[in-house]
């Protein structure tokens, strides 16, 4: 996530459309996070990464508040841990507007 426009502009990426069984989604409310600082942008800490990995291992599909957009949520899933609870509907190449990565002058 959040690879930056340089990477999105110079390496191929794919958008995937999934169908997910909502009954199998674990919602993490802001107050359930061990450290409220995790709701602010920045490089993820080792503890934050371990916590996220444990959530994915336990639940397979997790929805949690976005640190980038305060009114948004992120859905993160492990295809293996969530096996049988999601289906790939289609994929397409990501097309990035080149104006987002202008040349430096």
The tally of domains found in the chain comes to 1
Strand partners, 91: 16
**Is 32 part of any domain?**
yes
Opening angle at CA 77, ends 71 and 81, nearest 5: 150
**For residue 41, which phi and psi values (nearest 5 degrees)?**
-60, 155
pTM for the structure as a whole? 0.78
Q: What is the pLDDT of residues 36-46, one digit of tens each?
A: 999 988 888 99
Range of the domain at 83: 5-100
**Is 26 part of any domain?**
yes
**Is 94 part of any domain?**
yes
**Is 63 part of any domain?**
yes
**Is 19 part of any domain?**
yes
**Is 105 part of any domain?**
no
**Mean pLDDT, range 6-29, rounded to an integer:** 92
More confident residue, 51 or 105: 51
Q: How many CB atoms lie within 10 A of CB 62?
A: 20
**Is 47 part of any domain?**
yes
């Amino acid at each position: 996530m959040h690879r930056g426009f340089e990477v999105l502009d110079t390496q191929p990426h794919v958008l995937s459309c999934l169908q997910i069984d909502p009954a199998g989604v674990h919602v993490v409310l802001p107050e359930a996070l061990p450290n409220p600082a995790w709701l602010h942008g920045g490089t993820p800490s080792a503890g934050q990464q371990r916590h996220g990995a444990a959530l994915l291992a336990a639940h397979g599909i997790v929805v949690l508040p976005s640190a980038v957009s305060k009114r948004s949520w992120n859905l993160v899933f492990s295809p293996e841990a969530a096996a049988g609870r999601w289906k790939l509907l289609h994929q397409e190449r990501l097309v990035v507007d080149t104006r987002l990565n202008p040349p430096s002058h």
